Amino acid sequence: MPGFPLLTALIAVPAVAAAVVALLPSTARGALRAAAAAGTGATFLLSLLMLTDFTAGDAGFQLGEQVAWIPQWGITYRLGVDGISLLLVLLTTFMFPLTVLAAWEHTDRPKGFFASLLALEAALIGVFWALDVILFYVFFVAMLVPMYALIGIWGGSNRRYASVKFFLYTLVGGLLMLVAILYLYFKAGATSFDYDVLAGVALTGTEQLWLFLAFFAAFAIKVPLFPFHTWLPDAHTEAPTAGSVILAAVMLKIGGYGFLRFSLPYFPEATERLAPVILALGVIGVLYGALVAMMQSDIKRLVAYSSVSHLGFVALGVFALNPIGAAGSVVQMVNHGLSTGALFLLIGFLYERTHSRAISEYSGLLRSAPIFGGLFLVTVMSSIALPGLNGFVGEFPILLGTFATSRWAAVAAAFGVILAALYLLWAYQRMFHGPVEGRAVGFADLRPREIAVMVPLVALMLGIGLYPQPLYDRVNPAVEQIVADVRARTDVAAADEAAADEAATDEAATDEAQEGSP
């Protein structure tokens, strides 16, 4: 379909659906959820068109759309897609219908709930499509609002603290980024906020460093990297199931996405200079997140810390600055979305039945609910990167790529693999093995609707694990270009510096020679 604005349509469909839900009477529960399901389902089906419209081997942006928005300031409505954003958007559109299906029986003020979810979807897709920096920023902040509402209104007992913490963390990072964006804008001659224009701005080393740090603040909080992670366990624990799922599956990915989309291409020299520090933070995140996860007594908190650990790998892969690691990172983001999203969905089913997240209150769940236990185990195995399931095909290339850049970082992070097995299997053993006791007594196994939510997820885990090539085919060209770009620009800078040094020494030598010959 040439000329059809597919990218805009993908933002518009959930947005319109959100409006429709908002206009329906709040008592019409059936109509509300039907509208939500239709909206997210239509978005997913529409996103499948991307698979045919997108050319896999092409590195640049495709299916671009551009309309002037605020021409006085050079702000445009520019969208585009490359392999990285394609995968993340497909993940988004895939997860939302499942989330709606999982929240099918949601009874507490369903109108606002479903409207928030749909608005969130529109904003998230917008973040990945946007190729105008202000447009990106607008979506980046817009997604905060529905998520804030989801946690703050439909959350658990400590929801106020969690939602405010979530909001402030993200906003602070976002504002620092905004300042950096404005600096870039004026440096570039104050004519355009276009992604490519700002990428071409010539910056000194110091400028790069500060601007990099400002962008880094926004994305490191989102990833989240140690030590900016403590908002995550609170937000995850207090959020309703749908919120946790979307937060883990999609929202955290904006961090890794931002690194690849902005940090690396915009500030290559600063990236190169700070990469060792960020690798160290990534390794710390992997190990620290795993160790802290081990000590949690709340299963949701445990999974939240496991996210800190798993997403530390993403930072490693990106800042290994080679195509293997970076491509692995993108796939790891997708995989983490699937497996952690699935874990939160399963914990949601658990919580709906018993209203407890305490690990110690369960024992022998596998006996009372074998389907639930089996699906949980598959998800756990995917999360601890068992080969044959999806986790491995992301994590292994990341470690391989990191090893090429920094051996000790890869070796240290590899130990996270042991720890992941330890904390997840320990929790699994405590909750699912042993005699049937505590809240596991009389625990009802999954209903068909819940199984229907899990089947596509498990199928994808297996499918990606055995045949990840469709993902890598789309990611490889994009990350190769990004990394090659960084390499080229840092090499040029290094050459300049070397030339300058040489000139200086030459000069000095000439001076000396002149002094030597009276």
Partner 1 sequence: MENVLTPPAGSPVDFAWLIPVVPALSAGLLLVFGKRLGRLSSAVAILSIGFSATLSTMVFAFLQAQPEEGRVFVRTLGTWLSVGGADGLRVDWALLIDPLASVMLLLVTWVGLLIHVYSLGYMAHDERNPQFFAYLNLFAASMLILVTGSSFLTLFVGWELVGLCSYLLVGFWFERRDYATAAKKAFVVNRIGDVGFMIAMFLIFATFGSLTFADVLPAVSTAATGVLIAVGLLLFVGATGKSAQIPLFVWLPDAMAGPTPVSALIHAATMVTAGVYLVARASPLYLEIPDVGLLVAWVGAATAFVAAAIACAQVDLKRILAYSTVSQLGYMFIGVGVGDYTAGVFHLLTHGFFKALLFLAAGSVMHAVADETDIRRMGGLFSKMPVTAVTSLIAVLAIAGFPYTSGFFSKEEVLASAAARPGAQGIWVLGILVAGMTAFYMARWFVLIFLGSPRWAEGVRPHESPPSMTLPLVVLAVGSAAGGLLNTSPEDGFLHHWLEPSVAAFAADGHFLSEGLLLGAALGVAAVGGLLGALLYLRVDVATVGVGGGARNAARRRYYVDEVYETIVMRPGRAMADAFAAFDRRGIDGAVNGLARMTAGVATVGRRTQTGFVRSYALAVLAGTVLIAALFASGVVFGGIR
**401 lines the binding site for partner 1 (CB under 8 A):** yes
Span from 102-110, 141-149, 341-349, 394-402 in contact with partner 1 (CB under 8 A): 394-402
Mark the segment that binds partner 1 (CB under 8 A) among 107-115, 241-249, 395-403, 500-508.
Answer: 395-403
Pairwise CA distance, residues 219 & 260, whole Å: 10
In the list 225, 472, 474, 482, the residue contacting partner 1 (rule: CB under 8 A) is 472
Decide: is 295 part of the binding site for partner 1 (CB under 8 A): yes
Stretch (H or E) spanning 79: strand 75-81
Encoded tokens for 134: 């202000």
Three-point CA angle 231, 233, 234, nearest 5°? 65
| Position among 37, 396, 456, 490 found at the interface with partner 1 (CB under 8 A) | 396
Q: Which is nearer to partner 1, 323 or 341 (CB)?
A: 323
Instruction: Select the span of 75-83, 119-127, 225-233, 266-274 touching partner 1 (CB under 8 A).
Output: 225-233
Query: CA–CA distance from 215 to each of 38, 50, 112, 430 (Å)?
Result: 36, 29, 32, 41
230 touches partner 1 (CB under 8 A): yes
Minimum CB separation of residue 231 from partner 1 in Å reads: 8
Q: What is the DSSP letter of 446?
A: P
Cβ-in-10-Å burial (0-12, 13-18, 19+) of 91 comes to: buried
Q: Least distance in Å: CB of 335 to partner 1?
A: 13
Is residue 327 a contact residue for partner 1 (CB under 8 A)? Answer: yes
CA Rg, the chain, in Å? 24
The nearest distance, CB 434 to partner 1, in angstroms, is 5
Shortest spacing between CB 167 and partner 1, in angstroms: 12
291 sits near partner 1 (criterion: CB under 8 A): yes
- Interaction of residue 469 with partner 1, rule CB under 8 A: yes
What distance in Å separates the CA atoms of residue 429 and residue 423, rounded to the nearest whole number? 10
Nearer to partner 1, 31 or 164 (CB): 164
Nearest distance from residue 336's CB to partner 1, in Å?
17
Alpha helices in 320-364 (DSSP H): 323-354
Report the residue number, 295 or 504, with the smaller CB distance to partner 1.
Answer: 295
309 is a site residue for partner 1 (CB under 8 A): no
Verify binding: residue 165, partner 1, rule CB under 8 A. yes
Q: Residue 239, SS3? A: coil
For residues 374 and 454, give the distance between their C-alpha atoms in angstroms, rounded to a whole number. 11
Q: How many residues bind to partner 1 according to rule CB under 8 A?
A: 61
**Pick from 310, 461, 447, 450: nearest CA to 382:** 461
**Dihedral sign of CA atoms 244, 108, 42, 45 in order:** positive
User: Which is nearest to 154 in space by CA: 303, 17, 348?
Assistant: 348
Q: Which is nearer to partner 1, 273 or 430 (CB)?
A: 430
Does 324 engage in binding with partner 1 (CB under 8 A)?
yes
Length of the chain: 518
Give CA–CA dist 355/489, Å, rounded.
Answer: 54
- Residue of 67, 18, 57, 68 lying closest to 39 (CA atoms): 18
Instruction: Evaluate whether 126 touches 15 at the Cβ level (below 8 Å).
Output: no
Selected binder of partner 1 within 298, 361, 480, 485 (CB under 8 A):
480
Kindly state whether residue 451 participates in binding partner 1, applying the rule CB under 8 A. Answer: no
Secondary structure letter of residue 444 according to DSSP: P
Can residue 477 be called a binding residue for partner 1 (CB under 8 A)? Answer: yes
Examine residue 467 and tell whether it contacts partner 1 (CB under 8 A).
Answer: yes
Residue 288 found at the interface with partner 1 (CB under 8 A): yes
Nearer to partner 1, 65 or 445 (CB): 445
- Name residue 254's amino acid: I
Least separation in angstroms between residue 433's CB and partner 1 is 3
User: By C-beta, is 2 or 57 nearer to partner 1?
Assistant: 57
Does position 158 interact with partner 1 (CB under 8 A)? The reply is no
Nearer CB in complex with partner 1: 271/368: 368
Task: Give the other-Cβ count within 10 Å of 206's Cβ.
Answer: 9
3-state secondary structure of 426: helix
Site for partner 1 in 352-391 (CB under 8 A): 364, 366-367, 374, 381, 386-388
Select 7 or 410, whichever has its Cβ closest to partner 1: 410
Query: Which residues face 362 on adjacent strands?
Result: 438
209 with 270: CB under 8 angstroms? Answer: yes
Q: How many CB atoms lie within 10 A of CB 119?
A: 23
Dihedral sign, Cα of residue 93, residue 97, residue 102, residue 107: positive
Question: Can you tell me which of 187, 433, 487, 489 binds partner 1, judged by CB under 8 A?
Answer: 433
Determine, following the binding rule CB under 8 A, whether residue 411 of this chain makes contact with partner 1: yes
CA pseudo-torsion sign 21, 241, 394, 486: positive
Instruction: Looking at residues 4 to 63 of the shown chain, list those that interact with partner 1 (rule: CB under 8 A).
Output: none
In the complex, which residues of this chain contact partner 1 (CB under 8 A)? Answer: 165, 227, 229-230, 288, 291-292, 294-296, 322-328, 364, 366-367, 374, 381, 386-388, 392-393, 396-397, 399-401, 403-404, 407, 410-411, 414-415, 417-418, 421-422, 425-426, 429, 432-436, 466-469, 472-473, 476-477, 479-480
